[in-house]
A and B are shown apart, each in its own frame.
Chain A
Amino acid sequence: MSISVVVVVIVAVLIFGGVGVFLVRPKRGSKLQLGVSSEADVVTGSSERVATTEAERSFDVVEHRRGFEGSLPKSRSLLGAALARMRSKRALGEELWIELEEALILSDVGIDVSVELVGSVKEKVFREGITSTEAAIQLLREEMITKLDRGDRELNTDATPPVVILFVGVNGVGKTTSIGKLAAQLSSQGKKVVVAAGDTFRAAAAEQLEMWAQRSMVEVVKGSPGADPASVVFDAISHAAAVGADCVLADTAGRLQNRQNLMDELRKIRRVAEKASGTVSEVLLVLDATTGQNGLAQAQGFGDAAQVTGIVLTKLDGTAKGGVAFAIEDKLEIPIKFVGLGEGIEDLAPFDPVAFVNEITGDVS
Chain B
Amino acid sequence: MFEALGGRLEDALSKIRAKARLSEADVEVALREIRTALLEADVNLLVVRSIVDRIREAAVGAMASRSLTPGQQVVKAVNDELTKVLGGESFRLTYASRPPTIILMAGLQGSGKTTASAKLARYFKSQGRSPLLVGADLQRPAAVEQLRTLASQIQVPMFSEWTSPIEVAKGGVAEARRIGRDVVIVDTAGRLTIDADLMEEISATSKEISPNYTFLVIDAMMGQDSVTTAKAFNEALEVDAIILSKLDGDARGGAALSVKEVVGKPIAFASDGEKLDNFGPFYPDRMASRILGMGDVLTLIEQAERTMDEDVAERGAKKLMEGKFDLDDFLEQLRQVKKMGSLKGMLSMLPGVPKELRNVEIDEGELGKIEAMISSMTKKERSDPASIDSSRRARIARGSGTTPANVSALLKQFKEMQKMMRSMGIGPASATKRKAKARPQKKGRKNRR
A residues in contact (CB < 8 Å) with B: 2-26, 28, 31-43, 45-46, 49-50, 53-54, 57, 60-62, 64, 74, 102, 105-108, 110-111, 170-174, 180, 201-205, 207-208, 210-212, 225, 256-260, 288, 290-298, 300, 315, 317-321, 323-324, 343
Check A25–B227 contact: CB distance below 8 A: no
Q: A5-B360, A9-B362 are in contact. Are A21 and B301 (CB under 8 A)?
A: yes
Check B262–A42 contact: CB distance below 8 A: yes
The interface residues of chain A lying within 8 Å CB-to-CB of B363 are: 2, 6
* B388 interface residue per 8 A CB criterion: no
Distance in angstroms from B223 CB to nearest chain A CB is 3
Check B146–A111 contact: CB distance below 8 A: no
* B50 interface residue per 8 A CB criterion: yes
Q: A3-B406, A3-B409, A18-B308 are in contact. Are A203 and B145 (CB under 8 A)?
A: yes
> How many CB-defined contacts (below 8 Å) exist between A and B?
334
The interface residues of chain A lying within 8 Å CB-to-CB of B49 are: 45-46
Check B85–A292 contact: CB distance below 8 A: no
Residues in B62-103 with C-beta less than 8 Å from chain A: 81, 83-85, 87-90
Partner of B225, one of A62, A180, A290: A290
Distance in angstroms from B11 CB to nearest chain A CB is 15
Q: A203-B149, A207-B142, A292-B42 are in contact. Are A256 and B246 (CB under 8 A)?
A: yes
Check B413–A7 contact: CB distance below 8 A: yes
* B264 interface residue per 8 A CB criterion: yes
Chosen A-B contacts, 29 in total, with CB atoms closer than 8 Å, are A9-B343, A9-B362, A10-B370, A11-B421, A13-B350, A14-B320, A14-B333, A17-B337, A17-B346, A18-B336, A32-B90, A32-B283, A36-B87, A39-B261, A46-B50, A50-B231, A170-B249, A172-B109, A172-B112, A174-B109, A180-B141, A202-B146, A204-B146, A292-B221, A293-B40, A294-B221, A300-B1, A317-B194, A319-B232
Check B320–A19 contact: CB distance below 8 A: yes
A207–B226 CA distance with the chains assembled, in angstroms: 30
Distance in angstroms from B97 CB to nearest chain A CB is 26
Q: A211-B141, A258-B250 are in contact. Are A18 and B194 (CB under 8 A)?
A: no
The interface residues of chain B lying within 8 Å CB-to-CB of A202 are: 146
Instruction: List 7 extra interface pairs beyond A7-B417, A12-B350, A18-B336, CB under 8 A.
Output: A17-B301, A22-B317, A46-B50, A204-B143, A290-B226, A294-B252, A297-B250
B contact patch SS: helix
Residue of A nearest to B350 (CB): A12
Q: A17-B340, A31-B87, A31-B285 are in contact. Are A257 and B249 (CB under 8 A)?
A: yes
Distance in angstroms from A324 CB to nearest chain B CB is 7
A4–B363 CA distance with the chains assembled, in angstroms: 11
B residues in contact (CB < 8 Å) with A: 1-2, 36, 39-42, 45-47, 49-51, 53-54, 81, 83-85, 87-90, 108-112, 139-143, 145-150, 153, 192-196, 219, 221-229, 231-232, 245-246, 248-252, 254-255, 261-262, 264, 274, 283, 285, 295, 297-298, 300-301, 303-305, 308, 313, 316-317, 320-321, 330, 333-334, 336-337, 340, 342-343, 346-347, 350-351, 353, 357, 360, 362-363, 366-367, 369-370, 406, 409-410, 412-414, 417, 420-421, 424, 426, 434-435, 437-439, 441-442, 445
Partner of A25, one of B1, B39, B347, B438: B438
The interface residues of chain A lying within 8 Å CB-to-CB of B193 are: 318-319
Partner of A172, one of B45, B111, B195: B111
Partner of B229, one of A21, A61, A319: A319
